[in-house]
Structure 1
Amino acid sequence: MGIVQRQGLRNTIISYLGLALGFVSTTLVLPRFLEPQQLGLTGTLASIATLFAQVAALGFASVGIRFFPYFRNRENGHHGFLPFLVGVPLLGFVVVLGLYLLSRPFLIGLYEQDAALLNTYYLWGAVFALFTLLYSLLDAYLKALYHTAFSSFLQDILLRLLILGGALLFAQGWLTFHGYVLWYVGVNGALVLLLTGYLVRIGELHWRPRRAVLAVRPVRELLGVGAFTLLSSLAGSIIMYIDTLMVGAQVNLAAAGIYGIAFNISTALAIPARSLNKIAFPLLADYWKEQNLTGMADFYRRTTRLNTLIGCFLALGIGLNLDFIYSLMRADYAQGTVVVLLLLGSRLFDGITGVNGLILVTSPRYRFDLIFNVSLALLTILLNVLLIPRLGIVGAAVAAVAAQISINLARTWFVWRSFGMQPFTWRIPLILLIAAAAGLAGWLVPTLPSALLTMLLRSATLAGVYAGLILLTGVAPEVAALLKGLRQRLGH
């Protein structure tokens, strides 16, 4: 088994373990120990650090992965590629840090109700950003070297365990909240040290700068690709984090904490689609290389049907059992119930519209994907400005739903007009009808004295009705084929 296969298998295992651990810790454990304002603060610091680091990086993380094959030469330290990869973003960090410090009065002023609290940790946001920047650059370097499993383990498992450990220390009174925040920031620095130690261990920590690095590829080309990547990745991060930042600024940090937990609950719906996209990306690239648009159109329809099938079931399962989920947390977090339902609708629609984004980004017209992402970011900001002051955290959720649906409709139309393919067949509305019937059956289950028993009974009813109708109608051939295969194996 080659290094790519070994690393891929390890990454898959780590990814699923990390997703499960992340959902349990950020959705079920941390909200038991931390108040909404406290979670709102740490979430705001993480969002600031991510955006800060991305601007400072100048897109060099992606540049490193894309252009490293031209520099690869272990004997001479890869022509000094690592110092170049880290050095240019560090210069960017100094510039952004200056702007960050100069903007302190303005940015703190946006958080009227929590200005004093945020001001206490403002400089720690810059330290957090430095750790985030260095980690992303070293991670990109390791990806280029085909060593990805260790960094995935650090990010997906160890970091979550350390944050969870800090929360437990806080809950036991061993850490003050100030100590927990410093722990939260510091464990990200520890990951950078561990990643550096790993590079030493595999003999790839080549820190000596070399003039030859400037001659391998034109610096202007690297900066140009980096700028394009920066815009694309920054737009994606704005879409991901702007809700929390704007809720904290326009309402308060407690509301940001409540919104953040609601957002985390809804992310469970994105896990299957995210896993499917990892497989879809290289397959779509191959379809484009072979100009097999017929095969691509069939794949587009099948993945959309699968996303709809799984997405509807998960959305209903989460929505019907929100009372149970929130019963595991502090009572204040239940204010996010409507937000969860709205965000579930947004993520479900994103899944139903299929892999239109991946088709576009792997196509010859990939630059249009940047236009759609930037448009989505700007539309999200605009709607948040209009709706959060009127509706609070619900306004942020409505903005996310409206923006996501609008852009997905536009992207689906663009793929259809440009390449003559769209993902919808008669099976999609039938799956939605089946989901509505199953959801109604689960909703009609009476509330029992035990929240756990109610959840189990509702889930069993939902699963039974949903699976029964899916098999009865034959709307999902994949399910029937899977069951047939299982029967044959059991029969032998």
Structure 2
Amino acid sequence: MSKQYRDSILISIISYFGAAIGYINKILLFPNFLSTEEVGLANILVSIAAIYAQFSALGISSITLKFFPYFRNKEKAHNGFLFWANALLHIGFLLTTIAFIALKPIVVTYYSKNSQLLIDFYYYLIPLSLLTLYYNFFESYLRSLYKTVFPAFVYEVILRLGITLAISAFALKLINFEGFVTLYVIIYAIPPICLLFYTVYLKQFLFSYSISTPLVRLRKIIPVYGLYSFLNNASNLILLTIDSLMLAVMMNLSSAGIYSTMLFLASVMQIPFRAIGKTNGPIVSDFWRNNDLKGLSALYVKVSSLNLLISGWLFLLLWCNFTNFMQMLPAEYAAGMYVFLIIGLARMFDSYTGLNGLILVTSNKFRIDLLFTFLLALITIILNYLFIPGYGMEGAAFATMLSTVIYNMLRL
């Protein structure tokens, strides 16, 4: 058994164990001890932090996956890669934070009517986003070193156990809701701290301040690739989160809370897809580097077939037991039934198309993927704007499904 498939299996096991903990958190504890509005806030904070971190990163995660093989040389401290990447991260975070603070009056205008709770916790997003940024970078750096299992364990298991402790403390009335949100943000420091110590343990926390040969040789293509990756990743996150964000604006945080709970339930279908993607990222980059198109094609076919089989089976299992899940939730969550159906079908199709996005963004055709992603982000916003007023949560789900199908068809 090859290392990537062995790691894929381990990550899948870890992810399903984490999903079980996540199920306890998102399906049992959150809905039963938090109001739908408070559930909406907790989930929206994470979604916005992901976008914030993506803008701050300036494409460095994608740059790491694509170009680190050219810098890899432990004796030379990987030719200064870690130093320059961290410098870029912090410059990006500083600029994004300045914009985030300056844009608060506009955010207040849109969210204060239906989602005042988000405004109350607006500045909590700054530390949460920084912690997300650190985790994303160290995770991509370790992936490039073919260390994928431990980062998955920290994020999928340790982080979620921390969230379990936070919601349990709130349920036992040891803390109020503000204390819960504060603890919720602090817990997100656990993954990046663990990955930092793991990197040090591997003796890969290597800094060199010199301008190395690979940096000079790639000085023109790296900024261009970083810009395209930055725009592409930001657009991708908009595709994934705009439905919940627009529900919070056009309806309320309660609708966003129910909707995001259904999204979590559907996300179980994509655990194998994410696990395989994490382990195969460096493999795809190496295939492109060696111009091994035959190996790349064979990998794509295997991954797509496996993803379709597993995600299809999981969708049927979840849908057939949906009423059983709903019995564990407050009655208002039953309104999310068709949201789950629509999103589940979209996730199954997304899994089937396999590694198309990863293959495209690590190729010389990465500019095309940016065009597709940007157009689809725009279309998704328009579809949500049209469908949410008349159809509410189901409208947001249908907009997401339609944009997902179009997006992946263009990438094939």
1:230-253 deviations in Å (ceiling 9; x for gaps): 122222211111111111111111
**Cα distance change of structure 1 residues 51 and 325 upon mapping to structure 2, 3 Å threshold:** same
2:175 alignment partner in structure 1: 175
**Cα distance change of structure 1 residues 306 and 211 upon mapping to structure 2, 3 Å threshold:** closer
Q: How does 1:374-453 map to 2 (within 5 A)?
A: 374-411=374-411, 415=412
1:179-201 deviations in Å (ceiling 9; x for gaps): 11111111112332232223333
Instruction: Give the distance between the partners of 1:23 and 1:253, measured in 2 at CA.
Output: 21
1:440 alignment partner in structure 2: none
- Structure 1: gaps (5+ residues): 416-492
**Cα distance change of structure 1 residues 357 and 123 upon mapping to structure 2, 3 Å threshold:** closer
For residue 360 of structure 1, report the CA deviation from its aligned partner. Answer: 5.4
1:144 alignment partner in structure 2: 144
DSSP-derived class of the 1:392 partner = helix
Instruction: Give the distance between the partners of 2:405 and 2:27, measured in 1 at CA.
Output: 25
Kept in 2, the 8 Å contact 1:338–1:394? The answer is yes
Kept in 2, the 8 Å contact 1:109–1:115? The answer is no
1:191 alignment partner in structure 2: 191
Kept in 2, the 8 Å contact 1:80–1:213? The answer is no
For residue 341 of structure 1, report the CA deviation from its aligned partner. Answer: 1.7
Q: Which amino acid aligns with 1:152?
A: A
Q: Which amino acid aligns with 2:198?
A: Y
1:123 and 2:137 aligned: no
**Cα distance change of structure 1 residues 217 and 38 upon mapping to structure 2, 3 Å threshold:** farther
1:200-220 deviations in Å (ceiling 9; x for gaps): 333333356445589544434
Kept in 1, the 8 Å contact 2:300–2:355? The answer is no
Instruction: Give the distance between the partners of 2:32 and 2:261, measured in 1 at CA.
Output: 11
Kept in 1, the 8 Å contact 2:228–2:366? The answer is no
1:319-376 deviations in Å (ceiling 9; x for gaps): 2322211111222222211211221232334456676556756777554333332222
Q: Which amino acid aligns with 1:232?
A: N
1:77 alignment partner in structure 2: 77
Instruction: Give the distance between the partners of 1:36 and 1:151, measured in 2 at CA.
Output: 31
1:96 alignment partner in structure 2: 96
Kept in 2, the 8 Å contact 1:23–1:268? The answer is no
DSSP-derived class of the 1:401 partner = helix
**Cα distance change of structure 1 residues 205 and 156 upon mapping to structure 2, 3 Å threshold:** same
Instruction: Give the distance between the partners of 2:402 and 2:330, measured in 1 at CA.
Output: 30
Kept in 2, the 8 Å contact 1:170–1:176? The answer is yes
2:65 alignment partner in structure 1: 65
Q: How does 1:4-403 map to 2 (within 5 A)?
A: 10-207=10-207, 209-212=209-212, 216-274=216-274, 289=291, 292=294, 296=297, 300=301, 310-351=310-351, 357=357, 365=365, 367-403=367-403
Instruction: Give the distance between the partners of 2:10 and 2:272, measured in 1 at CA.
Output: 18
Percent of aligned pairs sharing the same letter: 33
Instruction: Give the distance between the partners of 2:299 and 2:119, measured in 1 at CA.
Output: 54
Kept in 1, the 8 Å contact 2:262–2:339? The answer is yes
Kept in 2, the 8 Å contact 1:70–1:216? The answer is no
**Cα distance change of structure 1 residues 139 and 292 upon mapping to structure 2, 3 Å threshold:** closer
For residue 44 of structure 1, report the CA deviation from its aligned partner. Answer: 1.2
DSSP-derived class of the 2:332 partner = helix
**Cα distance change of structure 1 residues 113 and 334 upon mapping to structure 2, 3 Å threshold:** farther
**Cα distance change of structure 1 residues 210 and 188 upon mapping to structure 2, 3 Å threshold:** farther
1:472 alignment partner in structure 2: none
Count of aligned pairs: 410
DSSP-derived class of the 1:219 partner = coil
Larger mean CA deviation between 58-67 and 303-312 belongs to 303-312
Q: Which amino acid aligns with 1:131?
A: L
1:432 alignment partner in structure 2: none
Kept in 2, the 8 Å contact 1:33–1:171? The answer is yes
1:393-427 deviations in Å (ceiling 9; x for gaps): 1211121122223334444xxx4xxxxxxxxxxxx
Instruction: Give the distance between the partners of 1:283 and 1:80, measured in 2 at CA.
Output: 24
Q: Which amino acid aligns with 1:205?
A: F
Instruction: Give the distance between the partners of 2:300 and 2:361, measured in 1 at CA.
Output: 16
Kept in 1, the 8 Å contact 2:308–2:348? The answer is yes
The TM-score normalised by the length of structure 2 is 0.86
1:239-277 deviations in Å (ceiling 9; x for gaps): 111111111111111111110001111223333544566
Kept in 2, the 8 Å contact 1:71–1:216? The answer is no
Instruction: Give the distance between the partners of 1:238 and 1:256, measured in 2 at CA.
Output: 15
Q: Which amino acid aligns with 1:177?
A: F
Kept in 2, the 8 Å contact 1:305–1:352? The answer is yes
DSSP-derived class of the 1:342 partner = helix
Instruction: Give the distance between the partners of 1:410 and 1:5, measured in 2 at CA.
Output: 28
Kept in 1, the 8 Å contact 2:284–2:362? The answer is no
Kept in 1, the 8 Å contact 2:115–2:249? The answer is no
**Cα distance change of structure 1 residues 100 and 213 upon mapping to structure 2, 3 Å threshold:** farther
1:435 alignment partner in structure 2: none
**Cα distance change of structure 1 residues 143 and 258 upon mapping to structure 2, 3 Å threshold:** same
Kept in 2, the 8 Å contact 1:84–1:213? The answer is no
For residue 382 of structure 1, report the CA deviation from its aligned partner. Answer: 0.9
**Cα distance change of structure 1 residues 306 and 48 upon mapping to structure 2, 3 Å threshold:** closer
The higher-RCO structure (CA 8 Å, 6+ apart) is 2
For residue 128 of structure 1, report the CA deviation from its aligned partner. Answer: 0.8
Kept in 2, the 8 Å contact 1:61–1:136? The answer is yes
For residue 59 of structure 1, report the CA deviation from its aligned partner. Answer: 0.5
